[in-house]
Structure 1
Amino acid sequence: MSSDPKQLRIPFPTPRLASTALKALQVDPELSPLVQRHLSVVSSSSPSSDDHAEVLQVEYQATTNRMLRVAVNSFMEGLKLVLEVMEQLDVDVLAADKANSIKSS
């Protein structure tokens, strides 16, 4: 394995949404023993971000760039699905959309 882990940081508006995404994504292990993935939720370190924002942090180690690319592509497909479900069904997201539509009216 490469000793240099590659990292993705995906911001979420609330800690609950970040935690939900973590739980949904961590159930699927990497299919290849040549790839290792570690997921965690960390506080946002950006001073301009909302105080309640959280970041889903994903660290990858892979033996080849090709294996890394395949693993990240697969992860991004899963993340896209999780975000689409949150957008359609999550009460916080629905409430925020409603509040934004009222403000723009």
Structure 2
Amino acid sequence: MTKAEIVSEISDKTGIEKVAVMATVEAFMDSIINAMENGNNVYLRGFGSFVIKERAQKTGRNISKNTTIIIPAHNIPAFKPSKSFVESIKTKVKVK
């Protein structure tokens, strides 16, 4: 499902114009990104958590040059679904 499909579905369910829904969805995503850029996790009860995970420094290999490289420590964004979200997916989704 794409962002446009999400906007269309919300617009159909609520009767709000697609332009207003798009602006709301964009503002929601910007809020999550800004919070995470500032080092904060975002918790949406019943849906899940957007968290920052820390990756430690590690040694990697450049296989084309056959050399060792150091991959520095860094942070990555991650999503952890809530238990109720996971359970609903387990019971309702059929594997294709």
TM-score, length basis structure 1:
0.29
**Structure with more helix by fraction:** 1
Larger Rg over CA atoms = 2
Structure showing greater relative contact order (alpha-carbon pairs closer than 8 Å, 6 or more residues apart) = 1
